[in-house]
């Protein structure tokens, strides 16, 4: 039963301080962005449309890397949560099917995800039942919640995205049930009221349509999987370069440098050239705060079990849902 507590509690106790400091950077990232903008005010930012689904671990890698390079390359990132299964259907991609058929591919991908996480300094773990997560649970609930939250409270998008990935791909906990989303939202720095508002909105036709239309937009922009990145290299829509995956950043740096050489004013070129390098997954070690490893699952459960410390509301919910009588 302890597993349930962990999965359902929005207000975990000993778990929470570790995780929250690691995940929520809502105010911090705002400050960073402002400072970077001031330093780079003479340059035109490069707009990037970042299509992603929080069920995709490679999307998490690209997400963190983009954020780290945002001040360095002066990126203006448009976060575009899409629904992966919808994208797969629209592009006739058979990603999940290929994983079940080609066992070598599956085995290799899980190794790759862990190694890439270590290299990129993102605490990725393979869930105990990745196919259950990917194919049964899916991402509809999370992506609708994220879309609703983004529409109502745009500045929460980054922390909320990270918080979903963290819960699913670092902690291996449920990510789709309402109480999981409550916990995720609170960890991302949302107030209880904001969370409830986003949760309610996530079931509206407006939000469902929005998620569909952004997914459609990704397909129209050429997405063949996630993450998918669209760089608007000349500020307009005419000079667009698209990238799939989390492993093309060296090429992106190389290409952005070329474009800058072509389009930017001479006087700015040298500085751009210096900046537009790929310096590995952590471009600025001095300003880098590593995301903390999640607590061991067993320790998490242990602390959660002391449920008298939990917010009574969530305890009551769970008791009611699972018909648990007080002793």
Tokens describing residue 31: 């400050």
Among 1, 39, 112, 268, binds a copy of itself (CB under 8 A): 112
Q: What distances in angstroms separate CA 217 from CA 32, 147, 149, 209, one per listed residue?
A: 30, 14, 19, 12
Question: Cα separations (Å) of 166 from 113, 121, 211, 327?
Answer: 14, 13, 22, 34
Residues 255 to 294: which contact a copy of itself by CB under 8 A?
A: 255, 278, 280
Residue 41 in tokens? 């005010």
**Looking only at residues 132 through 191 of this chain, which bind a copy of itself when binding is defined by CB under 8 A?**
none
Q: Candidates 138-146, 147-155, 241-249, 291-299 — which segment interacts with a copy of itself by CB under 8 A?
A: 241-249
Comparing CB distances to a copy of itself, the nearer of 102 and 129 is: 102
Query: What's the closest the beta carbon of residue 63 comes to a copy of itself, in angstroms?
Result: 18
> Among the candidate windows 178-186, 194-202, 236-244, 308-316, which touches a copy of itself by CB under 8 A?
236-244
Among positions 42, 119, 288, 322, the unique one binding a copy of itself when judged by CB under 8 A = 119
Asked if 311 is part of the footprint of a copy of itself (rule: CB under 8 A), the reply reads no
The distance of closest approach from Cβ of residue 115 to a copy of itself in the complex, given in angstroms and rounded to an integer, is 5
Name which of 231, 79, 212, 219 is nearest 150 in CA terms. 79
Q: Where are the beta strands (DSSP E) in the chain?
A: 46-52, 75-81, 228-232, 240-244
Q: Report the DSSP beta bridge partners of residue 79.
A: 50
Alpha carbon distance 84, 219 (integer Å): 11
Question: Which one of 28, 35, 39, 108 is in contact with a copy of itself (CB under 8 A)?
Answer: 108
Please state the φ and ψ torsions of residue 46, each to the nearest 5 degrees.
-95, 125
Among 21, 27, 78, 98, binds a copy of itself (CB under 8 A): 98
> Alpha-carbon distance 168 to 171, whole Å?
6
| Of the candidate residues 27, 102, 213, 312, the single one contacting a copy of itself (CB under 8 A) | 102
By CB under 8 A, the count of residues binding a copy of itself is 35
d(CA 3, CA 14): 15
Residue 27 in contact with a copy of itself, rule: CB under 8 A? no
* Binding-site ranges for a copy of itself (CB under 8 A): 91-94, 98, 101-105, 107-109, 111-112, 115-116, 118-119, 219, 222-225, 242-244, 247-248, 250-251, 254-255, 278, 280
């Amino acid at each position: 039963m302890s597993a349930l507590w962990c999965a359902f509690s929005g207000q975990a106790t000993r778990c929470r301080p570790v995780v929250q400091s690691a995940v929520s950077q809502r105010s911090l990232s705002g400050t960073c962005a402002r400072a970077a903008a001031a330093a780079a005010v003479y340059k035109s930012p490069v707009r990037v449309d970042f299509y992603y689904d929080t069920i995709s671990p490679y999307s998490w890698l690209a997400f963190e890397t983009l954020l780290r390079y945002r001040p360095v390359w002066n990126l203006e990132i448009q976060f575009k949560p899409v629904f992966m299964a919808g994208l797969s259907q629209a592009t006739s991609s058979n990603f999940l099917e290929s994983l079940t058929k080609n066992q070598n591919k599956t085995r290799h991908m899980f190794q790759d995800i862990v190694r890439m996480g270590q290299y990129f300094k993102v605490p990725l773990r393979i869930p105990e039942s990745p196919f259950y997560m990917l194919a049964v649970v899916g991402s509809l609930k999370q992506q609708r919640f994220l879309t609703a939250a983004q529409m109502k409270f745009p500045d929460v998008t980054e922390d909320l995205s990270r918080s979903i990935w963290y819960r699913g791909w670092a902690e291996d906990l449920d990510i789709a049930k309402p109480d999981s989303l409550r916990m995720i939202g609170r960890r991302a720095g949302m107030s209880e009221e904001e969370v409830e508002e986003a949760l309610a909105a996530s079931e509206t036709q407006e939000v469902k349509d929005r998620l569909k239309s952004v997914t459609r937009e990704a397909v129209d922009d050429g997405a063949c999987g996630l993450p998918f990145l669209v760089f608007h290299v000349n500020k307009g829509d005419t000079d667009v370069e698209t990238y799939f995956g989390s492993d093309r950043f060296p090429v992106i740096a190389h290409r952005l440098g070329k474009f800058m050489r072509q389009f930017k004013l001479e006087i700015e070129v040298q500085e751009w050239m210096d900046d537009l390098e790929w310096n590995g997954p952590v471009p600025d070690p001095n300003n880098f705060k590593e995301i903390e490893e999640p607590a061991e699952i067993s320790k998490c459960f242990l602390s959660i079990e002391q449920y008298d410390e939990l917010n009574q509301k969530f305890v009551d919910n769970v008791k009611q849902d699972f018909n648990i009588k007080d002793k």
